[in-house]
Amino acid sequence: MTHRLDALRRHSLVVADTGDLDAIRRYQPHDATTNPSLILKAFDLTGYQSLIDQELAVVKAEACDHREEHAVDRLSVAMGSEIAKVIPGRVSTEVAARLSFDTQASIHRAHELMELYEQHGVSRDRVLIKLASTWEGIRAAEVLEREGINCNLTLLFSDAQAQACFDAGVFLISPFVGRVSDWYKKDTGRDFTPDTDPGVQFVRGVCQRATQGGYDTVVMGASFRNTGQVLALAGCPRLTIAPPLLEELATTPGTVTPRMLLARGGGPRPSPLTESAFRWRHNQDPMANDKLAEGIRRFDADQESLEARIADRLASF
């Protein structure tokens, strides 16, 4: 009997949206993606406690400035290194959201994360540096890509963000589905079917522009609220899915029909966006403005919560 998760794998590469090693082993994704919110959840997982103590002991011995922030990076990389042992592909690791509007600081932090991964024996071709899709984040990714450090641009809600990432040669982008749908549901008071869902339609459009323009950037649908949204994007190159939805797909019998048949084009591409054009086009999309700003704030709030947990744990050493 075929279940929907296995059927989905025939059309899209499945990525686990979690840092939970047990879930990753169960669902056997190709890649995994993390962020401060997921690391915060992992902080309470039994399987990570000895690793957390080990990393925090190093941080305490180093007596460095901003030690809680440094500890978040060390923990993210240590957990990412464990994940890399059980997946065949890549693990995404996020630059702190508070650096989303600072290109040079983002580049510097990305270099530090890669150095930590190399200390763990994980090569750069197993890692994606995750950055917010601000103008500054995209510029940082452009530099990193030229250095051979591949990036995952997240919190992507507008056509302007997607086009700027294509222009910059970014390895992978994560256009969001659920948060787009949330905004339109609240704004209109309507419920949507999977095919009329604004988030699904947005990601389908991004996929079409990527393939028709002949861009090498990989599109990975993200932020799903239900399996209907996931299945409506079967055929999108990659889909990052949280464990509850992976479980539903893994235990539901059925086939999956690809909803997007993407033919790579070779037509003329638009001129690269200038900073002013990017900011204006993004500004004209109220949903994208609201959700990008909110997403950065939420990730930073989770980072602050994690840093507070780390400070308390360090005090107990």
Active site residues: 130
- Count of structural domains, the chain: 1
Kindly give the parts of the chain with pLDDT less than 50. none
Tell me how far apart the alpha carbons of residues 216 and 207 are, in angstroms, rounded to a whole number. Answer: 11
- What integer pLDDT is reported at residue 271 of this predicted model? 94
Residue 4's Cα: distance from chain center in Å? Answer: 23
Q: What is the pLDDT of residues 103-135, one digit of tens each?
A: 999 999 999 999 999 999 999 999 999 999 999
Domain that holds residue 126: 4-316
- What integer pLDDT is reported at residue 44 of this predicted model? 84
Q: What backbone phi and psi angles, to 5 degrees, belong to 154? A: -110, 180
- Nearest CA-CA partner of 168 in 94, 275, 263, 92: 275
Q: Tokens 């256009």 sit at which residue?
A: 175
Q: Which helix (H) or strand (E) holds 218?
A: strand 218-221
What is the secondary structure of 76-139 as a DSSP string?
HHHHHHHHHTT-SS-EEEEPPGGGTT-HHHHHHHHHHHHHHHHHTT--GGGEEEEEE-SHHHHH
* Cβ(32)–Cβ(83) below 8 Å: yes
- What integer pLDDT is reported at residue 47 of this predicted model? 84
- What integer pLDDT is reported at residue 305 of this predicted model? 94
Q: What CATH number should be reported for the domain holding residue 31?
A: 3.20.20.70
Residue 245, CA atoms < 13 Å, CB-side half-sphere: 22
Q: pTM above 0.75?
A: yes
